[in-house]
Chain A
Amino acid sequence: MTKIAFVTAGGSKTEVPAQDGDSLMQVALEHGIEEITAECGGAMMCSTCHVYIDDAWFAKVGAAPEEELDLLGFASCEVRDNSRLSCQVKVSSELDGMVVHLPESQV
């Protein structure tokens, strides 16, 4: 099964198994990653599922499309080139081992 590692702003790392086809946001909620609030449940309305994709994986995931980038304007932490809304990133075997960094806060 695909594995994803979430790393908090403080540096602590949690590796969890992820179902292919699920969004990163769903994976995080399922495994109690508290730094992802995901208030709108993936409806692309809240911007509280903000993550930074690790540089080594960013090319595989790709940059946020325009609509997503607009919504990221609501994010409470700095938006960087590798910012994504985790509800919009689908897990696949290609992403096995990916490292995802969590922002300090979501609201």
Chain B
Amino acid sequence: MPQAPINDTVTIHQLIDDPYPIYRRFRQETPVVHVKAVGRTMLTKAAHTRAVKDNPGLFSSDDPGTPQTLAFRTRTMMRKDGEEHMCERMAMAPALSPKNLKQIWVPGYEVLTEKYLDALPRGEVVDLFSLLAGPISGRKVADFCGLTQVSDDDMQRWCQTLIDAAGNFGWFQDLFDKADKVNDEVDAAVAQSIVRLQGADDQSALATMINAENPIPLSQIQANLKLAISGGVNESRDSMLTTIFGLLTNPDQLEEVKRTNGWGGAFEEAVRWVAPIQVSSRRVTEDTEIGGIDIPKDEVVMTVQASSNHDEELFDEPEKFNAFRRPNPHQSFGSGPHHCFGTHLARMTVGKTMLPLIFERFPNMQLVDPDTVKWTGFGFRGPLSMPVRLQ
């Protein structure tokens, strides 16, 4: 069978600026394609990305070449398979049980939302990125982790620094150096919290992990929290801002969402439209074939869920925001055993709590100018600002 065609024209800057037209062309012409600029074979069709993630035996998460291991100073569960992965994931899972979600995290987030909305200045232009979505997402994850003493700003800085280093395929030393400092800060905060949480009746991720009958090693506890920080703060922020943008630029949909209480659907559509985490990678454990293309053992394939979410085979007019799209089988939370650990938390807090409350509080909220909102990012993607006028 043929090898993957090689694309050597697309640049990383084009992918960062606006990958969607590029992915559309790939889906039509070369759905499985080796992209020189990222050094990986990209999978751009929904059926392929889903099949890869659902088959962890053939497509392993253990990628020895990932910069994530240097960035986190250890191999995280995201890069493990089978028992090893499950053991570390299940150590943290009780913190996010349905009961805790409903009795602790969602009510806590309602209180936070009211507080952050109260603090927004009226009658002037407000950037929801820096004054609302960023800070409250940092707070949410800090509280969930059990790092209650850490500031919103530190949470956001930690998330960004860890992400930058985990995706540092250019292997720039300064990004790893910065992450190294952040690792020291996180580890120090964890040590501080442990003193407070040891033996305490507390449902946070850290308390759950240290107070378990057979705790996992401290290095893995730290790694799990760093994963929650890097995977939970910016992604919550970006999904919130994208939903707000989608609704404000489609006022008729906003009215209908209000009337039908369709906030959850609007959130799902936002993460489909612009996936906060756009790509993932998996290592092929045996010679195989995807879409008629030979994929040799040990090749690392990149599943482009951002592209799958716009696959014309599943979605009509995929480039349009449609809060009433049903069904909406996007892959923004991944699939298979590494399906996003924070899915339910994100859906309940951003989708079902923040959105109705902010539009209830500011029914006449207006975007200053949709054209000034710039979107950026290849691995992670979202808007850089969201200036609105609040009445």
Contact = CB atoms under 8 A, between A and B. Distances in A.
A41 B98 contact: no
A59 interface: no
Contacts of B99: 73
Chain A interface size range = 10 to 19
A107 B265 CA distance: 8
B333 interface: yes
Given A37-B327, A73-B99, A107 B347 contact: yes
B217 interface: no
B327 A43 contact: no
A63 B336 CA distance: 24
Nearest to A71: B98
A35 B54 CA distance: 19
Nearest to B51: A41
B268 interface: yes
B336 A40 contact: yes
Contact of A40 (B101, B102, B337, B347): B337
A43 B329 CA distance: 17
B98 A45 contact: no
Given A40-B339, A107-B264, A74 B344 contact: yes
B336 A35 contact: no
Contact of B339 (A35, A45, A73, A107): A45
Contacts of A43: 336-337, 339
Interface in B78-128: 97-99, 101-102
A39 B335 contact: yes
Nearest to A46: B339
A78 to B, nearest CB: 14
Given A34-B327, A35-B327, A41 B53 contact: yes
Contacts of A45: 337, 339
Interface SS majority for chain A: loop
Contacts of A35: 327
Contacts of B97: 70, 73
Contact of B343 (A42, A46, A70): A46
B50 interface: yes
A39 B339 contact: yes
Nearest to A34: B327
A15 B373 CA distance: 48
A34 B314 CA distance: 11
Interface string B47-67: 000100110000000000000
Contacts of A34: 327, 329
Contacts of A76: 264
Interface in B138-156: none
A71 B99 CA distance: 10
B343 A39 contact: yes
Contacts of B335: 39-41
Interface in A30-66: 34-35, 37, 39-43, 45-46
Nearest to B329: A37
B98 A74 contact: yes
Interface centre among A42, A45, A46 (most CB of B within 10 A): A45
A43 B55 CA distance: 10
A42 B54 contact: yes
Interface in B336-352: 336-337, 339, 343-344, 347
Contacts of A74: 98, 101, 344
A70 B102 CA distance: 13
A16 to B, nearest CB: 17
Contacts of B336: 40-41, 43
A42 B327 CA distance: 19
Contacts of B53: 41
22 contacts: A34-B327, A35-B327, A39-B333, A39-B335, A39-B343, A40-B335, A40-B337, A41-B53, A41-B54, A43-B336, A43-B337, A43-B339, A45-B337, A46-B333, A46-B343, A70-B98, A73-B98, A73-B99, A74-B98, A74-B101, A74-B344, A76-B264
Interface of A: 34-35, 37, 39-43, 45-46, 70-71, 73-74, 76, 107
Given A40-B339, A74-B344, 11 more contacts: A37-B327, A37-B329, A39-B339, A41-B53, A41-B54, A41-B335, A42-B54, A43-B337, A45-B337, A46-B343, A107-B268
